[in-house]
Amino acid sequence: MLVVWIILAVVVVIGIFFWATYNGLVTLRVRVEEAWSDINVQLKRRLDLIPNLIETVKGYAKHESGVFTAVTEARANVLNAKGVQETAAAENQFEDTLKSLFAVAEAYPDLKASQNFVELQQELVDTEDKIQASRRFYNGGVRDLNTMIQTFPANVVAGMFKFENKDFFDVEESERAAANKPTEVKF
């Protein structure tokens, strides 16, 4: 009779382990999906601001059509991107074209003084901050999920239920290099 109780106790412990591990994996997967949704919301918000920003700049810089075309095309690429890797690549391209748009704006002092342009620029900066926060939250969730999927004994449960590693939302190498460069201060 004691042997039956021991076997039953072992089965219960194993069952609780599988139950807890599976629920932990599902929770982490849902957090990653939620974080990805947050990134998409912020990207959409930024993409919605861009046409207004372009129209504002166009009024001052009519001969800069190549920049406007590049920004519009990059915006379309982000809208049409599927998955983390494709979205990250489109995002990096889009951020580069935005830099060229702001470079054009720098050449027009009246534009920089325009209240509409200043408000749009502030909204864009706020949105960029939210995108960065969303990326950090997403990448943290991916890290936790991937770690659990790869560590023993949770990897046994993850393999049984076909949990897969998720991709990180990475910044392009050129942006990393720029972020690591010291800021130049000129007087």
Spell out, as residue ranges, where the chain has pLDDT lower than 70. 62-63, 112, 172-187
Long-range contacts of 86-89 (CB under 8 A, 24+ apart): 87/39, 87/43, 87/169, 88/169, 88/170, 88/172, 89/172
**Per-residue confidence (pLDDT) for residue 62, from 0 to 100:** 67
Write down the pLDDT at residue 156. Answer: 95
pLDDT score of 179: 47
pTM, to two decimals: 0.76
Instruction: Flag whether 107 is in a domain.
Output: yes
Residue 99 in any domain: the answer is: yes
Supply the pLDDT for residue 145. Answer: 97
Residue 182 has a pLDDT of 46
Residue 153 inside a domain? The answer is yes
Q: Domains in the chain: how many in total?
A: 1
Would residue 83 count as lying in a domain?
yes
**Residue-level pLDDT at 186:** 36
**Domain ranges, residue 9:** 2-167
Question: What CATH number is associated with residue 32?
Answer: 1.20.1440.20
Residue 181 in any domain: the answer is: no
Task: Tell me whether residue 182 is in a domain.
Answer: no
Residues 6+ apart with CB under 8 A from 178: none
Would 50 be classed as within a structural domain? yes
DSSP string, 5-26: HHHHHHHHHHHHHHHHHHHHHH
Which pair of structure tokens corresponds to residue 49?
Answer: 């601001």
Identify whether 175 is part of a domain. Answer: no
